[in-house]
């Protein structure tokens, strides 16, 4: 019993000492500011182009006043602040939370729009890290995700003030994805895989017919069919190219197909250099 009492007394003294030490040497915790002051400071930071500072103020408000009068507005502004700070993943997550928590809010269209825009900006930033490379040469999955999120936004809010911008970005995204498909087709050509190149060209023709890439996509199918020695198919697609693009860069003055050239680093292949020069 004596040992237990001694141990209990020691632990009590140690606990008291720890509290006193923490009080004397630990950081001072500042008292909470009024809710409106957090909000005003966040707005001021945005006005002064200090989005990271604004994020901090809006997060403080959200943490300290989760049911306050300004919390909904702060959560909306947090999406924008994180986006402006370049933290697109956080902005996307914040937009997602807002959509789930406030499905009847008047600003719901803004949350859907910012969610898609954050995906778009994030993909754009990732691609831009590769100097002197077109973003279409990189992984297009995030661009596809952004396209689908913009489409979801437009389906829900076709009359939103953000709808025109979303439509314009969707057109740009379709062009990017189509160009990406053609880059992959040329990659397969260089590696003597015409069947894989053909599939990429057909993908653009079938699913992205309104993009500027469709002319080249038809040319890709022609070249691929020639490499595969499917000359009737090549002839059919050549007729399509002539009908839709009579002044195509892939046709010479006599209307004959101009074959693609292999990249310099690739070894020429006999089949690859077969052209439609004999087909009129």
Residues 153 and 213 in one domain: no
Q: What is the spatial distance between Cα 121 and Cα 9, in angstroms, rounded to a whole number? A: 61
Q: How confident is the model at residue 250 (pLDDT cuts 50, 70, 90)?
A: very high
21 falls within a domain:
no
Confidence class for position 16, pLDDT limits 50, 70, 90: very low
Q: Is residue 153 part of a domain?
A: yes
Of 24 and 206, the structure prediction assigns the larger pLDDT to 206
Instruction: Say which DSSP state 135 is in.
Output: G
15: in domain: no
Indicate whether 161 and 120 sit together in one domain: yes
Q: Flag whether 221 is in a domain.
A: yes
User: What's the whole-model pTM score?
Assistant: 0.75
The answer to whether 89 and 122 are in contact (CB under 8 A) is: yes
Q: DSSP letter string over 53-111?
A: HHHHHHHHHHHH-TTSSSHHHHHHHHHHHHHHTT-HHHHHHHHHHHHHH-TT-TTHHHH
Confidence of residue 198 (pLDDT cuts 50, 70, 90): very high
Angle between helices 71-84 and 108-128 (to 10 degrees): 20
- Structural domain harbouring 168: 33-176
Average pLDDT of span 171-199: 93
> Does the pLDDT value for residue 5 go beyond 50?
no
Clarify whether residues 197 and 163 are in a common domain. no
Cβ contacts of 40 within 8 Å, gap of 6 or more: none
Residues 68 and 137 in one domain: yes
**Average of per-residue pLDDT across 15-43:** 64
Average pLDDT over the chain, rounded to whole? 84
The C-alpha R_g of the chain, in whole angstroms, comes to: 30
> Looking at the 3D structure of the chain, how many domains does it have?
2
Least confident of 10-19, 203-212, 248-257: 10-19
Show Cβ contacts of residue 134 under 8 Å, excluding neighbours closer than 6 positions.
Answer: 179, 183
Point out the domain boundary residue: 145, 176, 207.
176
Dihedral sign of CA atoms 170, 175, 176, 180 in order: positive
pLDDT of residue 140: 78
């Amino acid at each position: 019993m004596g040992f237990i009492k001694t141990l209990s007394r020691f632990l009590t003294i140690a606990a008291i000492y720890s509290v006193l030490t923490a009080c004397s040497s630990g950081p001072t915790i500042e008292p909470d500011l009024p809710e409106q002051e957090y909000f005003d400071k966040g707005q001021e930071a945005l006005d002064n182009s200090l989005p990271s500072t604004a994020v901090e103020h809006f997060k403080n408000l959200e943490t300290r006043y989760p049911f306050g009068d300004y919390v909904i507005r702060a959560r909306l502004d947090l999406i924008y602040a994180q986006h402006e700070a370049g933290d697109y993943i956080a902005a996307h997550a914040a937009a997602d939370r807002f959509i789930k928590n406030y499905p009847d809010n008047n600003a719901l269209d803004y949350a859907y729009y910012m969610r898609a825009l954050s995906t778009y900006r994030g993909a754009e930033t990732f691609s831009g890290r590769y100097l002197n490379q077109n973003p279409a040469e990189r992984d297009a999955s995030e661009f596809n995700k952004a396209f689908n999120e913009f489409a979801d936004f437009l389906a829900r809010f076709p009359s939103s003030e953000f709808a025109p911008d979303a439509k314009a970005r969707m057109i740009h995204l379709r062009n990017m994805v189509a160009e990406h498909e053609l880059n992959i087709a040329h990659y397969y050509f260089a590696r003597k895989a015409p069947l894989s190149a053909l599939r990429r060209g057909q993908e653009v023709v079938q699913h992205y017919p309104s993009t500027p890439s469709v002319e080249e996509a038809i040319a890709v199918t022609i070249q691929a069919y020639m490499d595969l020695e499917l000359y009737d198919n090549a002839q059919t697609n050549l007729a399509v190219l002539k009908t839709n693009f009579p002044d195509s860069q892939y046709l010479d003055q006599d209307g004959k197909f101009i074959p693609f050239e292999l990249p310099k680093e690739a070894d020429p292949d006999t089949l690859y250099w077969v052209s439609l020069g004999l087909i009129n």
